[in-house]
Amino acid sequence: MKMRHYVWASVMLLSACATPSERFTDAADTLGFEELTVRTDRFAHRIYSHINAVKNTDRKTLHVYLDGDGTPWQQRWIAGDPTSRSPIILKLMVQDSEPSILLGRPCYHGFSDTESCHNKFWTSHRYSKPVVESMAAALQQWLETTDFNEIVLVGYSGGGTLAMLIAPYIDKIKTIVTVAANLDIKAWSEFHGYLPLSGSLNPAVGPELPPMIRQFHLAGGKDDNVPPFIIETFAKTHSRAQAIIYRDFDHQCCWAEAWPSILGEIQAGNVAFNAGDSR
């Protein structure tokens, strides 16, 4: 564990002149992840794979990580590069002993200036149908080169929103784990007094997922970005959805520190709480 902290501290010393996308890529590389680009009909996507996804080819379950919204806005201005400045998602994935990949969002990770990208795809349309369908197509394209037969989607913050929206497109998905996820974008916008995400899909009013997909929605009791009531309300109105509240956590703390034990409970089948249970 000390070595991991040392590696992450080294990552944080990267040049301040680098773009958020460059810093993210350097961080992923330092942590031993491999990078490739997958292109769909509309967008390009970065995929970062954990080395276990390559070496442990006998394992049939793949964990697919989806990052949050990053930095869509910088104060009052739309960000030129929305890629996460503080990628908690990498801290989670590096601690996962299962084969895993990080599926990048359209227009993130160095693609914000490409012809198909418009800043609406990381602001008002961040969860839109084109975004969702392209991410699903990119994942399906990557899966065609592998033998994995079960998928676990792990989405942090806005990545959890996308996990719920992508799930209907991928037959192999068996479990969804969201962490501090915005599962009702209307309730979230109203809570903060933001303009509605007018071009985005809302998981809270979408169709129910197939009953064979298990859903674990983790919330921080002290989260003032995505307050736990949004996640609890979602779980109460969706079958097979369980809200698990970590009372002392907020939007960022302390998911990375607790991630090995959280994963262990889910993989062992010990997470069988009713909606609204607290830890």
The string of pLDDT tens digits covering residues 207-246 is 899 989 999 999 999 999 999 999 999 999 998 899 999 9
Mean pLDDT of 108-112: 97
Tokens 């990381």 locate to 122
Statement: residue 273 has pLDDT above 60: no
Mean pLDDT of 30-52: 93
Model's pTM, two decimal places? Answer: 0.91
- What's the whole-number average pLDDT of the chain? 90
Q: Which domains does the chain have, with CATH numbers?
A: 2-278 (3.40.50.1820)
Q: In what order do the strands lie in the sheet with 150-156?
A: 34-39, 44-49, 100-103, 61-66, 150-156, 173-179, 214-220, 241-246, 277-278
Statement: residue 98 has pLDDT above 70: yes
Mean pLDDT of 49-57: 66
Lowest mean pLDDT among 14-23, 77-86, 139-148: 14-23
